[in-house]
Structure 1
């Protein structure tokens, strides 16, 4: 990347990795974070970023160092028991008229399992729209609460594709999502739900409560297979608490919800306590995002209004986890007006086979 001395640059950064969160930094340059997931945040400076797959972040960088070349660098972050390769990828932040030599050594990024660096960065992200008009519309009176555990699991494998009796899957509330042959939006709009495409009974709580973040060696890792949806009424105030577990090795998860931006109102370590942890929520200036970091041995809470009718996918942004079934669907029913109802599909839209 070529820059001119004493100019300010806006970098719009997206993590295009399939399976890893990433630290990012530029040698000898401070990053000023101004937006995340296309929503402004209260600006703050940092020596590094943490960004999840599919997540976007806008930062300002001032080209105020000695004219030369400086490393841009990124490395994966993971707090799972099975670590990714510790690869550091670099680019060059090059000033115009530099002599071609690097002016500094490679920047020291946080260690690939540095949860303190991760949590510290995330905790600094706050919403900027506090005193402006209109004010933040953070849900307070909650109509629907959903508590979801996140895990990797196993199910029996009865095909020749497996070397062992079981195969890996992933789950939310112990349900591993099965993709149907008919699009769920099409099935819902045409009232195919009774035809076996999906069911409207995704559990709003885990089937079993246990020490989610404890030592689960020898714990039953079996999951159920299903295409099960959560149905919300239009306009409901929704709270979702996402709880990481140590099943299958644990680790943090970037969870993405289609169709909405939501407020990240809280996060913490250990098992979520519904009696005490809500008192720690930030309801004043929570960031408005669409991908939330769930710490590997902890939880994260989000809130939104169900004001976008339709069928919306929620899934882990790690490709391997999503393909294994760490997904579910939220269906928002129509409101009372045409403007708050699903529009019919265009006549030219191809239909799924068999419909």
Structure 2
């Protein structure tokens, strides 16, 4: 035994990088903490007493162990948003999908390996509305010795965008579900947890980004907001986009980025001004008649040597309904598609699916108007099970779900035109089954029921290629001819445009049960979600691993 210890010590001296990068261990204590925002205070759920929570700094190929200990009254689960979780669905995190939640007083170790990924992702609670304050960044550095495909920045800074309610967010959604109506919108947006000065609380400070003139900075921007897409601008500065959702892009310059909940964007900012303070702004995007939080979050880019009482150079934010600004940004995104980072777009499609995404109205005798607003995919409002779907799949438990999710709308209609007279939806815990390694195309079609709306759709367990998008109803004969199958942007969360459609393609090379849902939390609460079950392939390397011994019980 002693000789083995000596060997390990010798290896750690000779190859410190190898030893250091193999396993990263973290501990998340989920605890209550009193927070002060907008000149008022309230208790919030946090990780390690912080919101945003700690950043996970890891490298490609690392094995990551995160022990989550639940010290609060709520059930808890944590999702590692964008991590592929190859064969380790037990660590994905959505409550009742891949695991039962961590109950108060209990703990669970999330164990996963980061394979073939590098860039910016996020982690967040995946139960109730807890992710309003339970979220943070995942920074995945390339393997040692592997450079970025762009000049290395002087410094990297995580910038997390969020929303803030003065009220308890769980009370907000519970009241909405009880009444059948939409929940109250947030009271402010935040940049790294701070709204910045607002008219109702002008004395509160905001986040400050210190810079040195002549240096280039990489901002790792994350939208952790519950319900709103956001524009992001820096007064007097351009941003060069180099990555989205932990995938390198063809670089392009812009003054404004659009980022939906669950998405990440890395930008390079050259601090080319000699001195001064410049406003950083995060403002909402909504091009439908939907109530939103109109508050703009602000921060400051502060050049070294500039006096703190110097005037700040301001910037105008896009109108909230600035569809052309949003579309211009989305249309500029392309995969890098280099020899080292190719875009492996599936050219042949085994499963061609059309999913309508939108709202509906179902009867509710106890609700305010005798009905409640719901959301659905292909007219199915998803019903959450009481046993985790992945366990039911692995152990072949009957009665938990069915595999008959419709691959096309049960009833065809003019999706973006006059809605049908019956606005009701079906309910069920219905999954769509895919053979291992099959190729899938999903056209996500918005509907005009109640109102057309932009839906940021997130797929767990996979990246996908956004091969096309357009307005109106998808036309399979005409629109497929315009698909980009060469260098489409690759990501894990994509916006379905208001009154339009988005087409994605992916390869089902990850066995397990994988959630697909709108990342507007209100729509997820209303039922805009479903799941794919991907069967095992051939042999252990293409099969789901057995569950860990400490997997939480329902």
Normalising by structure 2, we get a TM-score of 0.61
Q: Is the 8 A contact 1:70 1:102 kept in 2?
A: no
| Cα separation, 2, equivalents of 1:347 and 1:291 | 31
Q: Is residue 248 from structure 1 mapped to residue 453 from structure 2 by the alignment?
A: no
Mapped contact 1:69–1:101 kept (Cα < 8 A):
no
Instruction: Note the C-alpha offset of 1:102.
Output: 5.0
2:331 aligned residue:
123
1:99-142: CA deviations, max 9, x gaps?
A: 22455543122211111111110000001124x14632110110
Matched, 1:272 2:480: no
- 1:82 is matched with which residue: 277, 280, 290? 290
Q: Could you give the per-residue CA deviations for residues 208-262 of structure 1, whole angstroms, max 9, x where no partner exists?
A: 111111143x732101111100100001010000000111212111000000011
1:137 aligns with 2:137: no
SS of equivalent to 2:481:
helix
Task: State which drifts further: 257-266 or 94-103.
Answer: 94-103
Report whether the alignment pairs 1:339 with 2:546. no
Q: What is the CA-CA distance between 1:200 and the residue it aligns to?
A: 0.4
Cα displacement (A) at 1:351: 2.7
Give the Cα–Cα distance (whole angstroms) in 2 for the partners of residues 341 and 351 of structure 1. Answer: 23
Given candidates 260, 264, 267, the residue that maps to 1:52 is: 260
Deviations 1:291-334 (A, max 9, x none): 01110011000001000000000000000001110000001000
Is the partner of 1:248 in helix, strand or coil?
A: coil
Cα 1:92–1:133 shift into 2, 3 Å = closer
TM superposition shift of 1:92: 0.5
Decide which of 215, 223, 228 is 1:7's aligned counterpart: 215
Q: Which residue of 1 aligns with 2:521?
A: 319
Deviation of residue 85 (structure 1)? 3.1
- Residue ranges of structure 1 left out of the alignment (5+ in a row): none
- Segments of 4+ in structure 1 off by > 6 A? none
Match of 1:67 in 2: 275
Distance 2:488 2:314 in 1: 34
* Structure 2 alignment gaps of length 5 or more: 1-208
8 Å CA contact 1:27, 1:104 repeated in 2: no
Q: Which residue of 2 aligns with 1:36?
A: 244
SS of corresponding position for 2:327: helix
1:168 is aligned to 373
Contact 2:246 2:264 in 1 (8 A): yes
RMSD (Å), alpha carbons: 1.3
Number of matched pairs? 346
Q: Which digits, 9 at most, give the CA deviation of each residue in 1:253-300, with x for residues without a partner?
A: 100000001111110111000111001100010111000111001100
Partner Cα distance (2:222, 2:422) in 1: 37
Please tell me whether the aligned partners of residues 336 and 343 of structure 2 are also in contact (alpha carbons under 8 angstroms).
no
SS at match of 2:541: helix
CA contact (8 A) 2:262 2:519 kept: yes
Distance 1:100 1:347 in 2: 54
Distance 1:306 1:198 in 2: 20
- Are 1:68 and 1:100, in contact at CA under 8 Å, matched by a contact in 2? no
Preserved contact between residue 42 and residue 128 of structure 1 (Cα < 8 Å): yes
CA distance in 2, matches of 1:156, 1:189: 35
For 1:182, which of 387, 408, 415 is the aligned residue? 387
Q: Counterpart in 1 of 2:14? A: none
1:302 is aligned to 504
In 2, the alpha carbon distance for the partners of 1:117 and 1:191 equals: 48
User: Paired residue for 2:402, among 179, 196, 199?
Assistant: 199
